[in-house]
């Protein structure tokens, strides 16, 4: 094992220096998503509460909620994300969020 800090350790150090930087919070959530989804959710919740204009949060937060079996909680996350993305002029993100919302609601008919 080398003494080089891991990406997560580096991000946590950045977070300690500036706990208000949404990119750092998002990156930490991303690092935790696969291995510690509940810990990832804590960071997504922080983003949703403190940085509601950070468009990238909504898709992954919604997907994580769906992964927890909480589709009814994911739906409003996707809906708010669509509004935030459109307001920010991020049409591609809005489109991805709409697809995620439709899938969450069972409105994607690609399986037919």
- Which CATH class name applies to 7-104? mainly alpha
Q: Which two tokens stand for residue 63?
A: 């997907």
> What does the pLDDT look like over 22-77, one tens digit per residue?
999 999 999 999 999 999 999 999 999 999 999 999 999 999 999 999 999 999 99
Alpha helices by DSSP H, 1-112: 7-17, 22-33, 37-50, 56-67, 71-87, 91-104
Q: Which two tokens stand for residue 56?
A: 């990238």
Give mean pLDDT, residues 80-96: 98
Confidence category of residue 112, pLDDT binned at 50, 70, 90: very low
- Residue 74 DSSP label: H
Q: Where are the domains of the chain?
A: 7-104
pTM value is 0.89
């Amino acid at each position: 094992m080398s003494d080089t800090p891991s990406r997560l350790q580096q991000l946590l150090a950045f977070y300690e220096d500036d706990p208000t930087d949404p990119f750092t919070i998002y990156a930490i959530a991303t690092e935790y998503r696969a291995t510690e989804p509940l810990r990832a959710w804590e960071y997504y919740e922080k983003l949703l509460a403190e940085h509601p204009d950070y468009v990238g949060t909504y898709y992954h937060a919604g997907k994580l909620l769906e992964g927890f079996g909480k589709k009814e909680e994911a739906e409003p996350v996707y809906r708010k994300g669509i509004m935030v993305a459109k307001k920010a002029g991020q049409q591609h993100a809005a489109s991805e969020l709409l697809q995620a919302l439709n899938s969450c609601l069972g409105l994607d008919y690609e399986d037919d």
